Structure 1
Amino acid sequence: MSHVVQGYNPRTGEPFGEPVAKTPDSEVDRIASAAATAFPAWSVEPAADRAVVLEKVADALDAESDLLVATADGETALGVPRLTTELKRTTNQLRLFAEVLREGSYVEATLDSANPDIIPPRPVLRRVLRPLGTVAVFSASNFPFAFSVAGGDTASALASGCSVVVKAHSAHPSTSRETARVVLDALRDAGAPEGVFGIVYGTESGVALVKHPAVRAVGFTGSTGGGRALFDLAQGRPDPIPFYGELGSVNPTVILPGAATPDIAAGFAASLTMGVGQFCTNPGLVFAPESIVPALGEAVAATSGGAMLNERMCDSYKAGTDALAASDLASVVSSGVRPDEAWAVAPLLFSTSVKVFEENLEKLTEEHFGPAALVVTYSEPSELHSVLAKLPGTLTGTVHAAESDHAEAGAVAEILRHVAGRIIFNAWPTGVAVAWGQHHGGPWPSTTNPLHTSVGATSIRRWIAPVTYQSWPDALLPAELQDANPLGIPRRVDGVLVVD
């Protein structure tokens, strides 16, 4: 068994960069223990001071943009324009959480005064959300910046006051190493406690990390199989810990009759093939009138594929789509162009009827990670109601409708809200805005916990838990709960939301 993690250039299949040594269990223990040692000091650092640290990390990453983007392009083949945008998204996430910390409502400060005259009598109660401890973050393959070493899980966990240990993804070890170097230097220069951030490499190190007693929660973005194995490990510990996994998603799109015009096809094809289809919000399942299928097929045929992130993903995509093409469950509508690159694939569009789909729902909702989609044709929108309700949990559900379709669009949305975390109208699901109102989650298997998001301001809620202080002197309370509200944050006082 190799003792190193080697990156590869997906365009050539050749090794890229120097190999990175896998982290042995003894070093995982040292790094996790150092993170636990750093946690007490970091967790009580004033929120405004943590905000400054996050902004300094963001500035440092921006300053190293050229090196980081070039390294990531060599390891992922995602292209300089896409990666430049993704790195800026990553630094903007850090800056968003600086805003969250300064605004302060994320701690849900709640103050109840004493009332001896009710049953049961109420003492002075003050409730606040406090950080859990050390968080293990698993990097994603398809977002080497935004969902990786310095991505959303790391940003939100550090913002919450937790320490972080990242498990680097094996598809981009050089990018991970360079990003970690920038983050570590920035944290040190900003005066953050030594050990508050660490990184480990290799599959075995991830297992050791989830099992480590110092780790109090886990954030994961990746495959359903890998996520389920780690989820079971986290739950099977002597002390089970929260595991927030983002796994697989087919992202159903319903095109209602009024919107089924040829104009819609170009937008679909662009969304399907963005990043070679390697997006968790890729529109892999479309319900549409049969009349629009030729236009969708022509649009996909006019696209070009590209190199996938690694050989395993390339092989899995080919095996899955070949099996679907060879089955009697769906027919191939069209294929795009496959570039002459080592791990390149072609976009594919399949078609089947709503009757066949409903009878073979489990097989036909398997995710083919990459630029492939299945169009399920229907005659009347009412045919979709029962089948949409049976779909597996998904990150997004999309409805395309003309004004004449609005009543039906509302009915479809009411069904989709039970299986999807974000409902989209007349747009495509690729692209997840980093914002206060974002929800990037959904029922199993899209995530392991539909209550939480991995993108947006409220993703910080995963790493904090409530503590109630009963009858404590004001001077001994956290600043967020003191009578004078020295931080000036929004609080709920005797049931009334007060914004100072």
Structure 2
Amino acid sequence: MLHGSNLIGNKTSAAGSETLRAFSTVTGDFLPGNFTIATEAEALEALAKARAAFAVYKKTTPEERAHFLDTIADEIAALGTDLIERTMQETGLPQQRLLGEQGRTTGQLRMFAALLREGSWVEAVIDTALPDRKPLPRADIRKVAQPLGPVLVFAASNFPFAFSTAGGDTASALAAGCPVIVKAHTSHLGTNELMAGAIQRAAQKCGMPDGVFSSLIGEGSTLGQMLAKHPDVKAIGFTGSYRAGMALYKASANDRKAPIPVYAEMSSINPVLVLPEKSEQEWDTVAAQLSASITLGAGQFCTNPGLLFVLENSTTDLLVQKLADLLKAAPEATMLNKTICGSYNSGIEKLLALQGVRALVQRRDAANEYAATATLFEVAADTFIANPDLQEEVFGPSSLIIRCSSVHQLNEAVSSMHGQLTGTVMGTDTDVAVFAETIDLLTDRVGRLVFNGVPTGVEVGQAMVHGGPFPATTDSRSTSVGADAIKRFVRPVCYQDCPQEHLPDALKDANPLGIMRKINSVLTRGPVDLAVAMQTAKA
């Protein structure tokens, strides 16, 4: 039974008089349950609790935080069918997709738990003192990553589990030692409550400080902006639209006395290069791969292939026609919410109104007004290069083909692109060798380069980068997926001639955590005295 309250640390609270309801694109109506919008006093209480919790939580051991993350994963798994059924109604996503996403969410929590236990992510570096060095002695200098402070996380619409309440931003921030305040997404309020409850129960079971996690309900333009500007918030994680992401980014830079990092994933159209020999040999296979990727999840992925670059050859028309036929045959699909559906339709109309754009597969009238049908457009490369509006994201099952008449024009078109999360190369070994310059140009504009696959599908692992140059994200040096996501919420701290008892465990001579450290430029798990002795012996 949903209670519709805000979660402020260990308590529930519903002091306000205004409420929200979750709308279902499946039923075309509002779902049961009123969710109380957080008052300013409740938001300030959550912030004060997070600030107080940070003083305690940042000093927890890696094992204590790892156990907390594992327990959150256990609590999410224990939600069972209640979670899946509610989320299906709120998002229109099918059961199997949600079961997979639930597994991904618990999996990434456990991945960060394992990362904490392994420990080398803190990048502990020790340069021991050299008192006899001439002309000047060297002090004992030690460096380690330490948590920033309370993190504000904005839940995403298209991944109700993996990028929302208990998703990657929350998991990585908690792993880093930062309390988290989640601003619930208004499209899946029931899902948020269930997931937030799981985190709250885990925090209580593990004896975490009151305020290590809170979840607040409200509109982004009011509650979100108020939280983003508050001095107790030390970093922000966001996945959503360019407009909302930039509003947060500007607020953090202009409306605060002390700017903070804003890790916003905003807009990406994920270009695909279909190179000539690949097109000639496998045009039908390539078309099938692209069609499946474009329509996956009604195209509501930040890695949806929205730009297809083709270099004119004897099979270009065959490839384009095959792709068009497959997209025409693709069934309509229910979209996540009314706003996304409306934006998809208006984005198509805007694209069609641009000079030089030709529709190959046009939107069909859907029986369900909240469903989307696939669309495909094409434009000449010179038109694409001249008009930046052709790079605006159409969030849904849509793609734009860029026809290039020469290698020079292809390179110019790729060079004109904004930053992207992904870039894909469909090419044979010969293609990759011949078009090395083009691929280099693409690499400069993306965070992940895919060869002979599709960009949809982001593996949660050690090597994954889910980020990219602006406007894909606000910081191309970061990733929101994978082990390195934890680095967004820490900062390097240096200790010079610090007494042993005051050093963090990761920097103590004895290495009580048993982690890999760099001591005088040598990686080792050993204690400082042994490392120094071995280096002296070698010298």
Where structure 2 has 5 or more consecutive residues not aligned to the other structure, the ranges are: 1-15, 527-539
Aligned equivalents of 1:378, 1:200: Cα separation in 2: 49
Q: Give the SS at the match of 1:18.
A: coil
Shift of 1:495: 1.3
Distance 1:228 1:317 in 2: 20
1:360-406 C-alpha deviation (Å, 9 max, x unpaired): 2x111110111110001123334211221120011001100012212
TM-score computed with the length of structure 1 as normaliser: 0.97
Q: How far off is 1:483 after superposition?
A: 0.8
Please state how far the C-alpha of 1:107 moved relative to its aligned partner.
0.7
Q: 3-state DSSP class of the match of 1:51?
A: helix
- 1:304–1:338 Cα contact (<8 Å) kept: no
1:285-319 Cα offsets, whole Å, 9 max, x none, are 10014322111111211212312211121111111
Cα separation, 2, equivalents of 1:17 and 1:227: 30
Aligned twin of 2:238:
220
Moved more, 96-105 or 283-292: 283-292
Q: Which moved more, 1:255-264 or 1:91-100?
A: 255-264
Find the aligned partners of 2:237 and 2:58 in 1 and give their Cα distance: 18
Aligned to 2:168: 152
1:212-251 alignment runs, 5 A limit: 212-236=230-254, 237-251=256-270
Ranges in structure 1 where 5+ consecutive residues have no aligned partner: none
| Counterpart residue type for residue 211 of structure 1 | K
Deviation at 1:353, TM superposition (A): 1.3
Residues 165, 199 of structure 1: 8 Å contact kept: yes
Match of 2:93 in 1: 78
**2:9 aligned partner:** none
In the alignment, is residue 32 of structure 1 matched against residue 47 of structure 2?
Answer: yes
- How many residues are paired up? 499
Deviation at 1:340, TM superposition (A): 2.6
> Mapping of 1:58-97 within 5 angstroms?
58-97=73-112
Cα shift at 1:409: 4.2
Deviations 1:10-50 (A, max 9, x none): 12320013121111111100011111111121111110111
Cα deviation, residue 411, structure 1: 2.3
Q: Are positions 1:168 and 2:184 aligned together? A: yes
Give the 3-state SS of the residue equivalent to 1:17 in structure 2. coil
Change (3 A) 1:342 1:353: same
Structure 2 partner of 1:447: 473
Distance 1:90 1:226, change over 3 A: same
The Cα of 1:223 is off from its aligned counterpart by: 0.4
Give the CA RMSD over aligned residues. 1.5
Note the C-alpha offset of 1:336.
Answer: 6.8
Distance 1:338 1:59 in 2: 44
Q: Which has the larger displacement, 297-306 or 214-223?
A: 297-306
Q: CA deviation at 1:337?
A: 6.0
Residues 1:463 and 2:489 are matched in the alignment: yes
| Distance (whole Å) between structure 2 residues aligned to residue 58 and residue 267 of structure 1 | 33
Residues 1:368 and 2:394 aligned together: yes
Within 5 Å, which residues of 2 pair with 1:389-400? 389-400=415-426
1:55 alignment partner, one of 65, 70, 83: 70
Structure 1 residues 354 and 84, CA, compared in 2 at 3 Å: closer, same or farther?
A: same
| Counterpart residue type for residue 179 of structure 2 | S
Describe the shift of the 1:449–1:442 C-alpha distance in structure 2 as closer, same or farther (beyond 3 A): same
Larger Rg: 2
Q: Tell me the amino acid that sits aligned with residue 99 of structure 2.
A: T
Q: Which residues in structure 2 correspond to 1:260-279 (within 5 Å)? A: 260=279, 261-279=283-301
Aligned partner of 1:110 in structure 2 is 125
* Structure 2 match to 1:210: 228
SS where residue 513 of structure 2 aligns? coil
| Corresponding residue number in structure 1 for 2:320 | 293
Q: 1:48 to 1:119 in 2, by over 3 A?
A: farther
Residue in structure 2 matching 1:425, options 436, 439, 451 = 451
